[in-house]
């Protein structure tokens, strides 16, 4: 039988993503003139990706499993939470909780649940016993087969971190020998773990519910590299940031016919080529490259400024305002492609709205649980990761745009995509300004869920 925990260690999601992205890029380079061959080879590799991902995805939060998630801080010690499934609580305590209870439903039984956890869990090290101090906070994690109840705690006497810690976690295993428990380091900057949920540090089974937790693998380099990875990942999954970049780089390979900097000079006797919707293709790679470099540079400078200011708590803005302006930035950048707002000064859009994208990146750091430790290296690493992620996105999109720039359809494509981006921008803007969920989102989620069911992911 496939050992999923081993598979997780060998094939973490980031490695898989980089592997298939690398394969795609390599095929584009080697077989640029053979698009059908590229697609055929990629399609042949999809079953492999599917076979690997299905057990990884399906193993996350299954019945008969309980979890301890811990966040390890160098100065503030260890915080964490127990995640216990509602069915287990109903069984052990003879409760009749709903499949998806609210925290208020659990409050009457809180002290009883706390006592049970304390009887079956312990932490100790060379510094003595580390008592579990419950904060009283209860949150929920909703999954298809019933919610997990999350009980938050702080580990006493953990401000000085030991190299090793003895952990006992036998909850539910004594009553159900097939039950499994896991401990996961969700956050440990020096171990290079930021927002980790996939890699388990310890697993507990019947008769094997005391383990040694190794905390010795800590270095500044691990933390710095993890922040680079987080920066890359969050620009890749930040669809609003990607669409803003797309709106900015669409005109990189063409110039407006009325532009003073038009690359293809024409005489009065010449009939314009590729002059559909007022655009003409650039003649060479150099002007297109410099356009991209200028736009990305100003965007980078802008979001670096506000990311730093927000992380240092010098300037903060309401999240709803920031996210609304980020949504609007996509539409205005796209509208600029149809009717210039800042004629010949596209960098102003990249810089001006880049300031708000920086505030958006700062909220990501906050969500990751970064509490100010190693702030300089955190900002440097995260920013570097964002730039690497941007370069990869542009490296995938820009060559395609450059290759098709002389097509008579390209100006129409530019305008069509810009109109589409405006519509998406307005949709998101309305949702974020009024804090509502419009029906299109729900429809897409339902259809995605149906697809997931059909392919066995849910």
pLDDT (tens digit per residue) in 265-279: 444 444 444 333 567
Whether residue 450 contacts residue 456, with contact meaning beta carbons closer than 8 Å, is answered with no
Mean pLDDT of 91-96: 88
Per-residue pLDDT band at 63 (split at 50, 70, 90): low
Q: CA 193, 194, 196 angle in degrees (round to 5)?
A: 75
**CA 9 vs CA 16, 206, 209: distances in Å:** 12, 23, 21
Whole-number average pLDDT of the chain: 80
Is the model more confident about 137 or about 7? Answer: 137
- In this predicted structure, the answer to whether residue 32 has a pLDDT above a threshold of 50 is no
**CA 160 vs CA 27, 128, 165, 355: distances in Å:** 50, 12, 12, 38
Quote the pLDDT of residue 53.
Answer: 46
Using a pLDDT cut of 90, give the percent of the chain over it. Answer: 29
Phi, psi of 427 (to 5 degrees): -60, -50
Is the model more confident about 52 or about 139? Answer: 139
Whether residue 382 contacts residue 189, with contact meaning beta carbons closer than 8 Å, is answered with no
What the block records as the tokens of 346 is 């596209």
Cross-strand pairs, 69: 81, 184
Quote the pLDDT of residue 55.
Answer: 45
Quote the pLDDT of residue 69.
Answer: 94
What the block records as the tokens of 96 is 């009749």
Whether residue 165 contacts residue 213, with contact meaning beta carbons closer than 8 Å, is answered with yes
Rounded Cα gap, residues 325 and 70, in angstroms: 35
- Tell me the whole-structure pTM to 2 decimals: 0.66
- In this predicted structure, the answer to whether residue 44 has a pLDDT above a threshold of 70 is no
Residue reference for tokens 């490259």 = 289
Mean pLDDT of 165-190: 90
Per-residue pLDDT band at 79 (split at 50, 70, 90): very high
Beta-carbon count within 10 A of 142 CB: 9
What the block records as the tokens of 78 is 């260890």
Mean pLDDT of 329-346: 84
- For 291-332, how does the pLDDT look when each residue is reduced to its tens digit (9 = 90+)? 888 888 899 999 999 988 988 888 889 989 999 999 999 999
C-beta contacts of 361-368 below 8 A and 24+ residues apart: 361/234, 361/303, 361/307, 361/386, 362/306, 362/307, 362/310, 362/311, 363/310, 363/319, 363/322, 364/230, 364/234, 364/238, 365/307, 365/311, 367/195, 368/187, 368/194, 368/195, 368/230
Quote the pLDDT of residue 419.
Answer: 93
Rounded Cα gap, residues 409 and 413, in angstroms: 6
Quote the pLDDT of residue 38.
Answer: 43
Q: Which of 127, 187, 184 is nearest to 157 (CA)?
A: 127
Quote the pLDDT of residue 83.
Answer: 93
Q: What is the DSSP string of 184-252?
A: EEEEEGGGTEES--SS-SEEEBTTB-EEEEE-----HHHHHHHHHHHHHHHHHS-HHHHHHHHHHHGGG
- Which is it for the CA torsion 377, 378, 380, 384, positive or negative? positive
Listed ranges 28-32, 152-156, 173-177, 317-321; the one with the highest mean pLDDT: 152-156
Rounded Cα gap, residues 240 and 245, in angstroms: 9
Rounded Cα gap, residues 262 and 260, in angstroms: 6
Per-residue pLDDT band at 51 (split at 50, 70, 90): very low
3-class SS of residue 358: helix
- In this predicted structure, the answer to whether residue 368 has a pLDDT above a threshold of 50 is yes
Quote the pLDDT of residue 62.
Answer: 63
- For 115-131, how does the pLDDT look when each residue is reduced to its tens digit (9 = 90+)? 999 999 999 999 999 99
Is the model more confident about 272 or about 6? Answer: 272
Quote the pLDDT of residue 9.
Answer: 36
Rounded Cα gap, residues 117 and 82, in angstroms: 9
Per-residue pLDDT band at 339 (split at 50, 70, 90): confident
Mean pLDDT of 407-422: 88
C-beta contacts of 338-342 below 8 A and 24+ residues apart: 338/415, 338/418, 338/419, 340/256
Per-residue pLDDT band at 456 (split at 50, 70, 90): low
């Amino acid at each position: 039988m496939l050992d999923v925990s081993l598979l997780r260690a060998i094939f973490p999601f980031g490695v898989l993503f980089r592997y298939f992205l690398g394969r795609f890029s390599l095929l584009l380079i080697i077989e640029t003139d053979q698009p059908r061959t590229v697609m055929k080879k990629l399609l042949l590799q999809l079953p492999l990706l599917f076979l690997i991902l299905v057990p990884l995805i399906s193993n996350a939060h299954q019945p008969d499993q309980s979890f301890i998630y811990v966040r390890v801080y160098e100065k503030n010690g260890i915080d964490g939470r127990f995640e216990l499934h509602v069915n287990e609580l109903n069984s052990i305590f003879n409760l009749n909780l709903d499949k998806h209870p609210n925290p208020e439903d659990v409050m009457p039984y809180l002290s009883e649940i706390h006592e049970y956890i304390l009887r079956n869990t312990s932490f100790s090290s060379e510094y003595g016993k580390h008592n579990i101090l419950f904060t009283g906070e209860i949150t929920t994690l909703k999954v298809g087969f019933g919610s997990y109840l999350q009980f938050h705690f702080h580990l006493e006497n953990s401000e000085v971190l030991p190299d090793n810690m003895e952990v006992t976690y036998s909850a539910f295993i004594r009553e159900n020998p097939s039950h499994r428990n896991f401990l996961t380091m969700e956050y440990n900057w020096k171990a290079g773990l930021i927002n980790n949920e996939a890699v388990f540090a310890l697993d507990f089974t019947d008769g094997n519910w005391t383990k040694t937790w190794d905390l010795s693998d800590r270095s500044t380099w691990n933390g710095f590299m993890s922040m680079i990875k987080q920066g890359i990942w969050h620009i890749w999954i930040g669809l609003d940031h990607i669409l803003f970049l797309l709106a900015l780089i669409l005109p990189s390979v063409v110039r407006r016919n009325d532009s003073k900097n038009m690359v293809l000079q024409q005489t009065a006797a010449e009939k314009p080529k590729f002059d559909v919707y007022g655009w003409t293709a650039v003649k060479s790679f150099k002007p297109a490259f410099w356009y991209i470099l200028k736009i990305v540079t100003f965007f980078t400078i802008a979001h670096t400024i506000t990311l730093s200011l927000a992380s240092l708590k010098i300037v903060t803005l309401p999240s709803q305002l920031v996210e609304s302006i980020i949504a609007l930035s996509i539409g205005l950048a796209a509208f600029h492609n149809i009717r210039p707002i800042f004629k010949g000064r596209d960098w102003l859009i990249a810089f001006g709205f880049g300031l708000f994208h920086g505030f958006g990146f700062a909220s990501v750091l906050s969500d990751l649980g970064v509490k100010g430790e190693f702030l300089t290296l955190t900002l440097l690493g995260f920013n570097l990761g964002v730039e690497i992620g941007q370069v990869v996105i542009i490296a995938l999109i820009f060559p395609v745009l450059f290759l098709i720039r002389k097509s008579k359809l390209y100006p129409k494509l530019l305008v069509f995509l810009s109109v589409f981006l405006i519509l998406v921008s307005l949709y998101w803007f309305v949702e974020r300004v009024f804090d509502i969920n419009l029906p299109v989102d729900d429809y897409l989620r339902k259809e995605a869920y149906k697809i997931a069911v059909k392919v066995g992911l849910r």
